[in-house]
């Protein structure tokens, strides 16, 4: 598609005036722009011209006011409402627009053409309406005060040259209509003119008439603030900045254009990403080089210091040997170049440097030590070996390590006799213990606190999810924590702490959940005890016995559920019999009224007939759900968005909210992923919303819904300003058949609690009588969210 320059009809000469100082008298032809909510038509944002046009309104409309009702002629108000409603439902009518009368700042009515469309620049989950209003009576060309035909012709020629100049630029050019909220904070901008180079520099296709946030909702706010400052101050600005939405760097010159009442912003800009990338590469290269120099210098200093420290402090004997070559260039001996104090004490010699290795160690050739040193010197391959020898009638062991370094042999030796004896004793002990524990049905784990690893496990925890013996044995202790249910991790850490502080006789017990088959959580019983202590009395190993009690939990829950379901099933059958016949009559009556009432009268009652029908369907579904309680099925948990499920529950309650004129305030954006059965969770949230709406007075209710992240959980809070709950009622709020509501059954909140239990979620209630109540639901974050952290 060929690129074209777009200008609104009333803006064209305004641009020429800004560039060539050619007064044209079209200051009153600028368009008005509004962004409003589709439900109550409350004003969200407007352009600079609208801020100036309506600044004399006292008081200035707030976000919760019906702005259009204040400025539109009463006879035309229904036309505007029709256009606003069609903006999200029937685009053709909204784009065709209507002509209405708008109150001017001076009190008279002025005719404007209103066109509206759907706007999702703020949030995909929330819809808004963007409206453009243009004056219907343009100033005629011949009627402009003080401008004759020749002057007008000159202006048009200047405008043509301006267009040719702008379209021939290699730089991108754009004219933007700034959009502000009611506190005059810039929120977005509308593209009203671009040159052909604009798309090449930005990658935005067909931008004319669209806003920046409609292309990229997360566009950085500093761009709006910068251009808003240009619009308000009238001062140009030059800067370089990165745009995350375009993934490019731009060199930007922004300046005001148009008359003082519109304060549009124009930009000349270039894509400087290649230059910035080259600068960044050069900067990183310099930093890397500097870092390598510093690192190498520091490394050399550390090695020298470390070598000196090792020689002075280690318990092992360390000695450096220099080879001595014979006539055939074969190694015939070594001489000591450097030794530490341990070597001196072992040989009972004060001075060893320069002395022969074979003379001080006559058995070295017989035991293969000399040959090992010789091969290391010739091949450069390091060796590590053990040597046993008799001393004072007892067998002893030495561990010797040798490696070649710059023509010398660096050697160390350590007396490992005590460790050898302990190892043999330990092997015998471990062999007996392994035979013993392999016969137990429990899972046995030994945790080593020195290495902070799992020392031993006798059988698989699970054949899935990396919890086999091969996976777990040697695993760092902290790596086990993700396998524990998020709500049980604090208890698991306390269990660990209690064992390390326990006596040798204490047995510490814990019940918690581990990830099992198909990523399901299974209950385990753990019993921990101190296993080994060091010579200072500190625990460095403890043993834990695990037993899977998932089946016991299931049987226990099944017994409890069976008792509850038997009672609920009786109630469900009674309700089905008593409710469904009246509900059928109500539904049939609503259908008859819908057919009988015609003409203008039907317009007034159409919404209420619809509410009766939807409410009848909802009640029928609730009766069906209540009947299904007696045949309860386990929740099927899948990855879903808590915000989306909450919005669906709100949609089911919209009729009740509409009839009682409750104001809903939502404070959450984006996605909040959890493991949930969306249908069951939606019923639980809907139940809380319905209870909240019933607790509030009509026309005064305010329902506030927030979602926040706290550590590894999402918190959903639902607050009302209703009658509140007495303190003595809070403890029994979730009991079956407990209610203070006239005609209530007392099963709603009990069902909510059961659903949340299936989701591994918790619920708490905060309430102040006569002021309101807040329900707080806590859900573990989905594992993908935790991995992202």
Separation CA 122–CA 129 (nearest Å): 11
Statement: residue 123 has pLDDT above 80: no
- Comparing CA positions, the residue from 116, 120, 87, 88 lying closest to residue 218 is 120
- Could you tell me if 540 and 532 are in contact, meaning their C-beta atoms sit under 8 angstroms apart? yes
Q: 373 Cβ partners below 8 Å, 6+ apart?
A: 321, 334, 357, 402, 409, 411
* Mean pLDDT over each residue of the chain, to the nearest integer: 80
Question: 27-138, what's its fold?
Answer: Beta-Lactamase (3.30.450)
pLDDT of residue 322: 93
Separation CA 608–CA 593 (nearest Å): 11
Query: Which segment, 204-208, 439-443, 744-748, is predicted with the most confidence on average?
Result: 204-208
What angle in degrees, to the nearest 10, is found between the helix axes of 12-20 and 149-168?
A: 90
The pair of three-digit structure tokens given for residue 24, joined into one six-digit string? 């044209």
- Comparing CA positions, the residue from 772, 609, 770, 626 lying closest to residue 704 is 772
User: How do residues 59-92 score in pLDDT, each as one tens digit?
Assistant: 555 555 567 888 889 999 988 888 888 887 766 6
State the pairing for strand pair 317-325/98-103: unpaired
pLDDT of residue 648: 92
Quick count: other Cβ atoms within 10 Å of Cβ 749? 23
Confidence of residue 3 (pLDDT cuts 50, 70, 90): very low
Confidence of residue 583 (pLDDT cuts 50, 70, 90): low
Helix H or strand E encompassing 118: strand 109-119
The CATH classification number of 638-788 equals: 3.30.565.10
* Angle ∠(531,537,539) on CA atoms, nearest 5: 40
**Lowest mean per-residue pLDDT among 220-229, 237-246, 300-309, 438-447:** 300-309
Superfamily of domain 314-419: PAS domain (3.30.450.20)
User: How do residues 451-461 score in pLDDT, each as one tens digit?
Assistant: 889 988 888 87
Separation CA 192–CA 211 (nearest Å): 9
**DSSP conformation letters of 69-108:** HHHB-TTTHHHHHHHHHHHHH-HHHHHH-EEEEEE-TTS-
pLDDT of residue 305: 67
308 by Cβ neighbours in 10 Å (0-12 / 13-18 / 19+) ranks as exposed
Confidence of residue 105 (pLDDT cuts 50, 70, 90): confident
Statement: residue 336 has pLDDT above 90: yes
For the chain, give the longest Cα–Cα distance. 127
What is the average pLDDT across 297-322?
75
> In terms of DSSP H, where are the helices of 597-708?
600-628, 642-652, 654-659, 678-695
Of the two residues 465 and 114, the one the predictor is more confident about is: 114
Separation CA 163–CA 185 (nearest Å): 32
Confidence of residue 226 (pLDDT cuts 50, 70, 90): very high
Superfamily of domain 440-548: PAS domain (3.30.450.20)
Separation CA 105–CA 113 (nearest Å): 18
Label residues 671-708 b or e (16+ Cβ within 10 Å = b): ebbbbbbbebbbbbbbbbbbbbbebbeeeebebbbebe
- Comparing CA positions, the residue from 335, 389, 333, 326 lying closest to residue 363 is 389
- Comparing CA positions, the residue from 264, 28, 217, 52 lying closest to residue 134 is 28
pLDDT of residue 668: 93
Statement: residue 20 has pLDDT above 90: no
Confidence of residue 2 (pLDDT cuts 50, 70, 90): very low
- Could you tell me if 64 and 201 are in contact, meaning their C-beta atoms sit under 8 angstroms apart? no
Label residues 350-385 b or e (16+ Cβ within 10 Å = b): eebeeeebbeeeeebeeeebbebbbebbeeeeeeee
**Helices and strands (DSSP H and E) totals, the chain:** 25, 27
Could you tell me the sign of the dihedral formed by the alpha carbons of 648, 654, 656, 660, in that order? Answer: positive
Query: For the chain, what percent of residues have pLDDT higher than 90?
Result: 22
Quick count: other Cβ atoms within 10 Å of Cβ 152? 17
User: How do residues 356-400 score in pLDDT, each as one tens digit?
Assistant: 999 988 888 888 899 999 999 999 999 999 888 777 778 888 889
Statement: residue 490 has pLDDT above 80: yes
Separation CA 510–CA 494 (nearest Å): 10
Q: 668 Cβ partners below 8 Å, 6+ apart?
A: 643, 646, 705, 706, 707, 708
Specify the pTM: 0.38
**DSSP conformation letters of 25-50:** S-GGGPPEEEEE-TTT-BEEEEEHHH
Quick count: other Cβ atoms within 10 Å of Cβ 133? 22
- Could you tell me if 121 and 134 are in contact, meaning their C-beta atoms sit under 8 angstroms apart? no
State the pairing for strand pair 702-710/663-667: parallel
What is the average pLDDT across 744-762?
78
Separation CA 267–CA 238 (nearest Å): 10
Q: How far apart are the first and last CA of the chain?
A: 44
**Lowest mean per-residue pLDDT among 54-63, 74-83, 228-237, 241-250:** 54-63
């Amino acid at each position: 598609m060929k690129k074209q320059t777009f200008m609104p009809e009333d803006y064209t000469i305004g641009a020429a005036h800004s560039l060539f100082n050619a007064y044209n008298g079209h200051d009153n032809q600028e368009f008005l722009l509004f962004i409003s909510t589709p439900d109550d038509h409350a004003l969200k944002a407007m352009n600079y011209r609208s801020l100036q046009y309506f600044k004399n309104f006292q008081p200035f409309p707030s976000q919760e006011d019906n702005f259009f009702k204040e400025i539109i002629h009463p006879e035309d108000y229904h036309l505007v409402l029709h256009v606003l409603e069609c903006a999200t439902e029937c685009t053709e009518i909204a784009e065709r627009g209507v002509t209405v009368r708008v109150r001017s700042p001076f009190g008279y009515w002025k005719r404007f053409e209103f066109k509206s469309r759907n706007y999702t620049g703020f949030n995909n989950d929330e819809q808004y309406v963007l409206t453009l209003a243009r004056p219907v009576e343009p100033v005629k060309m011949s009627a402009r005060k003080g401008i004759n035909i020749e002057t007008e012709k000159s202006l048009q020629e200047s405008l043509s040259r301006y267009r040719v100049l702008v379209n021939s630029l290699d730089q991108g050019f754009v004219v933007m209509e700034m959009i502000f909220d009611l506190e005059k904070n810039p929120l977005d901008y509308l593209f009203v003119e671009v040159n052909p180079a604009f798309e090449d520099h930005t990658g935005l296709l067909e931008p004319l008439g669209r806003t920046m946030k409609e292309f990229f909702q997360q566009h950085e706010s500093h761009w709006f603030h910068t251009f808003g400052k240009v619009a308000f101050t009238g001062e140009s600005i030059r800067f370089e900045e990165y745009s995350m939405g375009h993934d490019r760097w731009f060199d930007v010159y922004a300046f005001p254009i148009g008359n003082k009442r519109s304060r549009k912003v124009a930009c000349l800009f270039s894509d400087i990403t290649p230059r910035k990338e080259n600068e960044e590469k050069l900067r990183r290269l310099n930093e890397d080089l500097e870092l390598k120099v510093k690192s190498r210098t520091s490394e050399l200093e550390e090695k020298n210091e470390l070598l000196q420290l090792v020689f002075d402090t280690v318990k092992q004997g360390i000695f450096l040997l220099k080879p001595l070559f014979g006539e055939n260039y074969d190694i015939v001996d070594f001489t000591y170049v450097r030794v530490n104090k341990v070597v001196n004490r072992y040989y009972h010699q004060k001075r060893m440097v320069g002395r022969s290795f074979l003379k001080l160690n006559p058995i070295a050739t017989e035991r293969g030590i000399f040959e090992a040193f010789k091969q290391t010197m010739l091949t450069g391959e390091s060796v590590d070996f053990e040597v046993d020898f008799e001393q004072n009638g007892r067998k002893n062991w030495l561990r010797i390590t040798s490696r070649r370094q710059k023509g010398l042999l660096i050697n160390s030796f350590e007396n490992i006799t005590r460790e050898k004896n302990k190892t043999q004793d330990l092997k015998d002990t471990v062999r007996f213990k392994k035979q013993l524990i392999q016969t137990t049905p429990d899972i046995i784990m030994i945790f080593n606190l020195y290495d902070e690893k799992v020392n031993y496990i006798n059988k698989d925890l699970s054949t899935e999810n990396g919890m086999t013996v091969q996976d777990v044995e040697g695993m760092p202790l902290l790596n086990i924590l993700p396998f524990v249910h998020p709500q049980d991790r604090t208890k698991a850490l306390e269990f660990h702490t209690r064992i390390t502080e326990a006596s040798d006789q204490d047995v510490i017990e814990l019940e918690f959940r581990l990830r099992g088959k198909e990523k399901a959580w299974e209950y385990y019983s753990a019993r921990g005890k101190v296993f080994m202590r060091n010579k200072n009395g500190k625990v460095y190993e403890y043993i834990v016995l695990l037993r899977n009690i998932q089946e016991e939990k299931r049987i226990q829950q099944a017994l409890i559920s069976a008792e509850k379901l038997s009672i609920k099933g009786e109630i469900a059958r009674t309700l089905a019999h008593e409710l469904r016949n009246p509900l059928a009559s109500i539904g049939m009556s609503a259908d008859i009224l819908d057919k009988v009432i015609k003409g203008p009268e039907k317009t007034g009652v159409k919404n209420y007939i619809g509410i009766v029908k939807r409410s009848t369907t909802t009640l029928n579904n609730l009766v069906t759900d209540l009947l299904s309680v007696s045949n309860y099925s386990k929740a099927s948990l899948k990855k879903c968005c808590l915000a989306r499920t909450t919005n669906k529950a709100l949609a089911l309650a919209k009729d009740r909210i509409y009839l009682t004129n409750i104001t809903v305030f939502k404070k959450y954006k984006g996605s909040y992923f959890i493991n949930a059965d969306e249908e069951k969770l939606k019923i639980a949230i809907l139940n809380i919303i319905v209870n909240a709406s019933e607790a509030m007075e009509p026309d005064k209710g305010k329902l506030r819904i927030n979602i926040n992240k706290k550590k590894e959980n999402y918190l959903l809070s639902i607050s009302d300003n209703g009658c509140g709950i007495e303190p003595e009622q809070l403890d029994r709020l979730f009991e079956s058949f407990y209610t203070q509501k006239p005609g209530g059954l007392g099963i709603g909140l009990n069902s909510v609690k059961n659903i949340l239990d299936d989701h591994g979620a918790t619920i708490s209630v905060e309430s102040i009588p006569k002021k309101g109540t807040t329900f707080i639901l806590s859900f573990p974050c989905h594992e993908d969210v935790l991995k992202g952290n």
